[in-house]
Structure formats: C-alpha cells, structure tokens
A and B are shown apart, each in its own frame.
Chain A
C-alpha cells in the first residue's frame, strides 16, 4: 500500500493554463505539506496543513491554492501557469508538525511550455 500518493506523476501544459495535483496519504497523519523542488534540487516548503487547516503559506503566489477536503487529502491547484512554475512538486505528511518525520509522495514533474 502506497503511504503518500500523488497524481499525476507527470504534467506537461501550456503557459496560462490551470492545473491541479492531487495528494492522498493513508498513514493517518494529521499534517500535510506541499514542497517545490527546483531544477537545482533545492527543496522549499510551500504550504503546511494541520487537520485541514492552513498553518503555513510560505509567500507563495496567489495563483497557487491548496485545498484539504479532509485530513487524508491535500490538493494543489495552480492558475495561470508560468514558465517559472516548472519544477517537481512533492506532497508529504507527518503525524504532527515539528520534529516529526515527514514521508513524501513520489513527486509530480510539472513542465510549463
């Protein structure tokens, strides 16, 4: 059983389009996250959610809107995609926040043309 899953695995789209990435965890964790990994492999947190509530928004443009319908799901919707949005997006979860081990999904490779 996959602990943290993301769909789709690959996403190729045109500039200006809107796209969504879905994430689900079956670990029973309370906290979920979205990360962006750029072409230099730098991993930066975008959002943290605890029990469906937004806790951290790391100065991410408004075009990115996360949604957590329940504790097990955290989706990411991106409006008006730009070339600079091309990256790998990782979803992760942990039992709680802070000093708890995070488990990552397989990543979604987004390419904006």
Chain B
C-alpha cells in the first residue's frame, strides 16, 4: 500500500543550526514524485521542494535540500541555518505519475529556538 510516514511529531532546533526532518515512503511503483510543504501557524500550505523518483541528484532550494535515498525509500528534508520563521508544521507527500492522488504524512512540528 502507498504510504508516507513521518515519525517525528515534534522537533526542536537552535537558531542557525541545521535540522533534518524524516520521511519514509512505501510504494511499489517506479515513477513518483516526493514533495515537502510547510504550514506555518497562519495555516497556508507552502510548497518547499520536489524530488522526482528518477532524479539522480538531490533537490535543493535555497536553505532546503532533500536527502533522497531511493533504496531506503526515504526523502528527508534538511533545513540549513534555521531561522525563527522556520517554526511550522512540515508535511511530506507523494504522488505517482499518471495518477491524481497525493498522499500526505502526518507532519512534523518544528520549533526553532532563539
């Protein structure tokens, strides 16, 4: 069954440090995309980063990078140089090519400490 697992319900990180948010997925398909979204306390869902299953390089977007380990079926989000504004809920999601269904994990609440 297709599934996204985020095992860290909550995380703390000191400002300016790096933090890794874990995401593992389960699929038997070969072609899929992995996504990370940020949901601040204001409630909107903000797209952060995308990784395609056939991409050989890890995706990066500014301070965000996705540590993609296909054999382990993991797609961890790394935030470098954390800022107070990074405090939010973070969701990992997956979708398969040719489908119209996206599956989300349960989220990790990140708190950045000053």
Residue ranges of A at the interface with B (Cβ–Cβ < 8 Å)? 31, 33, 40-45, 48, 50, 55-56, 58, 88, 90, 92, 97-104, 106-107, 109
A-B contacts, 14 of them at CB < 8 A, read: A31-B100, A41-B106, A41-B107, A56-B100, A56-B101, A97-B98, A98-B101, A99-B33, A99-B95, A99-B97, A104-B45, A104-B46, A104-B47, A109-B43
Interface size for B (C-beta < 8 A) is: 28
When C-beta atoms are compared, the residue in chain B nearest to A109 turns out to be B43
CA distance A97 to B33 in the complex (A): 11
Chain B contacts for A40, CB-based, 8 A: 106
Further 18 A-B residue pairs, CB within 8 A, beyond A97-B98, A98-B95, A99-B97: A41-B89, A42-B107, A45-B101, A88-B43, A90-B45, A92-B45, A97-B99, A98-B97, A99-B31, A99-B53, A99-B95, A100-B33, A101-B50, A103-B47, A104-B44, A104-B46, A106-B43, A107-B43
Residue ranges of B at the interface with A (Cβ–Cβ < 8 Å)? 31-33, 35, 37, 39, 43-47, 50, 52-53, 89, 91, 95-104, 106-107
Chain B contacts for A99, CB-based, 8 A: 31-33, 52-53, 95-97
Chain A contacts for B104, CB-based, 8 A: 42-44
Q: How many A-B residue pairs have CB under 8 A?
A: 69
Judge whether B47 and A45 touch: CB under 8 Å. Answer: no
Judge whether A41 and B39 touch: CB under 8 Å. Answer: yes
CA distance A44 to B104 in the complex (A): 7
Judge whether A102 and B47 touch: CB under 8 Å. Answer: yes
Chain A contacts for B35, CB-based, 8 A: 101-102
Given the known A-B contacts A99-B31, A101-B35, are A43 and B99 also in contact in the complex, defined by CB atoms under 8 Å?
no
Min CB gap A25→B, angstroms:
14
CA distance A98 to B33 in the complex (A): 8
CA distance A99 to B102 in the complex (A): 8
Chain B contacts for A109, CB-based, 8 A: 43
Min CB gap B61→A, angstroms:
11
